[in-house]
Amino acid sequence: MFLHCVRVTASSVFRAQSFRCLFRMTTCRTANAAAVVRLLLLCSFCAAAAIACDPPNGAKFGYTGSVGPDHWGALSPSFRQCATGTKQSPIDISTAQAVSNPALQPLHRDYTVANATLVDNVVNVALRFDGDGGAGSVSVGGKLYTLKQVHWHSPSEHTVDGRRFPVELHMVHASDDGNVTVVAMLYRFGRPDPLLWQIQDKLAALHAEGCRADKGAPVAAGDVSLWSLRLYSHTYYRYVGSFTTPPCTENVIWSVLAQVREMTVDQAAALMAPLEQAYRRNNRPTQPRNGRVVQVYRNGFINKKTAP
């Protein structure tokens, strides 16, 4: 995520940066005297520079208070659809009301081992896949979409029959003509997640970068295997929605997998650790369906309810 920087007073930056630096020092797992000295020097440099960075488009957004989801549409003209859109995400998925569509196809996902970079996007932690080929592809409606990045929200953004889960993973795919489809996976606490197990040291390094530099510098994750993300695709829910963060662009095709996966409590904590405290609950509330139909694919099984 590119950051838009605006100048503020040196005193306000000093106070903000000092607080952040002290917070980082108390939360870093390891810190020796030399590291503390370097961190304090860095804080002084930040104050002298008198620069504060906000998310893109010049408008800061968050998940609480005056920059929270209820106010996103008013923060920037480019965010207006967050308030006026009629096909917004996330939503609550009612399993009883989901309609089977015989035209839906199995979710064919062809993922590979890919070179990745772990990034602190301010509002979430993401794995970005380098290269034009991304990390493989998914076929939706006969169109091929390339996997560009995955990121996590905690707690989950989508709910199922009103139930919210500890974590949700979004796999963001893009087609050559600029369309976007997202595959969402819900997680409960339990056994270790294979993907997070692969990058656990990199997550710790991303957190450490924040401790050293008061911001999350990208961390090279090397080759990451995505084989585990291909599992449990036999049932999914399909609807048309939007990005769940500003600018809340609509006409995003969502596929929410019905199979709930598992990760440990420690893995979930590691995902949130690099983020500032205000972003460690980074889920947008569910949005009105506004008459949208949620369709379901059940591995060839046709429900009594059938889409027209």
Whichever domain contains 139, its CATH number is 3.10.200.10
pLDDT at 5 over 70: no
Q: How many CA atoms lie within 13 A of 194 on its CB side?
A: 9
pLDDT per position as a tens digit, 143-196: 999 999 999 999 999 999 999 999 999 999 999 999 999 999 999 999 999 999
Residue 149 lies in a domain: yes
pLDDT per position as a tens digit, 253-266: 999 999 999 999 99
Percent pLDDT > 70 in the chain is 75
Q: How many domains does the chain have?
A: 1
Please compute Rg for the chain using Cα positions: 20
Helix (H, G, I), strand (E, B) or coil at 149: strand
Residue 17 lies in a domain: no
Q: Distance (Å, rounded) from C-alpha 164 to C-alpha 225?
A: 28
The 3-state DSSP composition of the chain as helix, strand, coil percent (nearest 5) reads: 30, 30, 40
Tokens coding 25: 């020092």
Would you give the distance in Å from CA 176 to the centre of its chain? Answer: 22
pLDDT per position as a tens digit, 56-70: 444 589 999 999 999
Residue 20 lies in a domain: no
Instruction: Grade residue 133 by pLDDT with cuts at 50, 70 and 90.
Output: confident
- Residue 197, domain extent: 81-298
pLDDT at res. 9: 30
Give the CA distances from residue 301 to residues 34, 93, 94, 234, in Å, rounded to whole numbers and listed in that order: 63, 19, 18, 10
Which residues neighbour 253 within 8 Å (Cβ) at sequence distance 6 or greater?
140, 141, 179, 180, 181, 182, 238, 240
pLDDT at 248 over 60: yes
Which residues neighbour 186 within 8 Å (Cβ) at sequence distance 6 or greater?
156, 158, 160, 165, 167, 168, 256, 257, 260, 261
**Is the model more confident about 50 or about 178?**
178
